[in-house]
């Protein structure tokens, strides 16, 4: 038994890194299941939908119901569908995100002058031309959103620039900040997570590898937090790092020590 009714688990850097399952991750998930905690996986990956992680984790013997998975892409798609119905979205992002938005019945446009909303995200093909078009779209006062704030993404062999880096370029060119960034640690993300878990925040544990997204999400939502040292955060980062997690774990496999 444990005081926690639910747990929000980050994915990249907590359960997997690239295509590899992290050491201790499977054991940690089994421990949470045995403790009776309801589970929500939450990734700031803006290029994947919920079903992707069922397929990605199945080879490791981990069963995942897509209804228990959120990503910054799915949260963004739902938010735009709810708050900007029938408005045209100019996307700086990946083809995969484009598909997720279209599946949510969001109308996309490639014409900057026709944009009601501008959405910035991760895009491996991001170019000066994309930045120029985004600037034109934002000059007309369009609503401006980002999928997630992650400036880097952990991959096999190191890190690569993420959505936050592209959003920074768009912000600098347009001279304005996004109206909101919708993935972790936003209030929008916290509300989406709470709606899936239906557990009180004070009985919910957030586990992840980033202080500025995973731990910040938990702190702002009144949840208990634990950082794992299998992703971007190292022990040296914790000295003076903010926000401060309630617990520090070498890996998800050590989760039993705080249950």
Cβ atoms 223, 193 nearer than 8 A: no
d(C-alpha 220, C-alpha 237), whole Å: 20
Those residues with Cβ within 8 angstroms of residue 81's Cβ, 6 or more apart along the chain or in another chain = 104, 105, 106
**3-state SS class at 17:** strand
Residue 165 pLDDT exceeds 70: yes
Is the domain spanning 73-181 CATH 3.40.50.1000? The answer is: yes
DSSP state at residue 3: S
| Digit-coded pLDDT (tens) for 60-118 | 999 999 999 999 999 999 999 999 999 999 999 999 999 999 999 999 999 999 999 99
Question: pTM score, two decimals?
Answer: 0.94
Residue 225 CA to its chain's centroid (Å): 16
> Tens digits of per-residue pLDDT, 210-257?
999 999 999 999 999 999 999 989 999 999 889 999 999 999 999 999
Give residue 154's pLDDT band: very low, low, confident or very high (50, 70, 90). confident
Pairing of strands 152-155, 158-161: antiparallel
The string of pLDDT tens digits covering residues 15-49 is 998 889 999 999 999 999 999 999 999 999 999 99
| Token reading at 21 | 């399952």
pLDDT at 222: 96
Q: Where are the alpha helices (DSSP H) in 145-258?
A: 163-174, 187-197, 216-221
The whole-angstrom separation of Cα 72 and Cα 225 is 20
The reply to whether 73-181 shares the fold of 6-44+184-258 is: yes
Q: Sketch the domain layout of the chain as residue ranges.
A: 6-44+184-258, 73-181
Q: Above 90 in pLDDT, residue 198?
A: no
| Count of Cβ atoms closer than 10 Å to residue 125 Cβ | 8
pLDDT in the model for residue 157: 78
pLDDT band at 1, cuts 50/70/90? Answer: low
Q: Which fold has domain 6-44+184-258?
A: Rossmann fold (3.40.50)
| Cβ(120)–Cβ(143) below 8 Å | no
Do 70 and 40 meet the contact criterion of CB atoms below 8 Å apart? Answer: yes
């Amino acid at each position: 038994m444990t005081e926690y009714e639910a747990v929000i688990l980050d994915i990249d850097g907590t359960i997997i890194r690239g295509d590899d399952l992290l050491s201790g991750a499977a054991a940690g998930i089994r421990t949470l299941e045995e403790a009776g905690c309801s589970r929500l996986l939450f990734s700031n990956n803006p290029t994947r939908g919920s079903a992707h992680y069922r397929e990605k984790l199945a080879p490791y013997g981990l069963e995942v119901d897509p209804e228990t998975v959120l990503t910054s892409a799915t949260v963004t798609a739902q938010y735009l569908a709810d708050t900007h119905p029938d408005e045209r979205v100019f996307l700086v992002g990946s083809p995969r995100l484009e598909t997720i938005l279209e599946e949510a019945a969001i109308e996309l446009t490639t014409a900057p002058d026709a944009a009601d909303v501008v959405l910035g995200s991760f895009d491996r093909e991001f170019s000066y031309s994309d930045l120029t078009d985004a600037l034109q779209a934002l000059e007309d006062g369009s609503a401006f959103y980002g999928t997630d704030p992650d400036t880097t993404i952990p991959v096999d062999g190191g890190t690569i620039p993420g959505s936050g880096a592209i959003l920074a370029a768009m912000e600098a060119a347009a001279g304005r900040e996004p109206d909101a960034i919708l993935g972790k640690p936003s209030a929008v993300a916290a509300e989406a997570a709470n709606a899936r878990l239906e557990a009180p925040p004070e009985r919910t544990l957030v586990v992840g590898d980033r202080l500025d997204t995973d731990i910040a999400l938990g702190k702002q939502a009144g949840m208990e937090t634990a950082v794992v040292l299998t992703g971007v955060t190292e022990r040296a980062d914790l000295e003076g790092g903010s926000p401060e997690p309630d617990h520090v774990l070498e890996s998800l496999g050590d989760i039993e020590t705080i249950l």
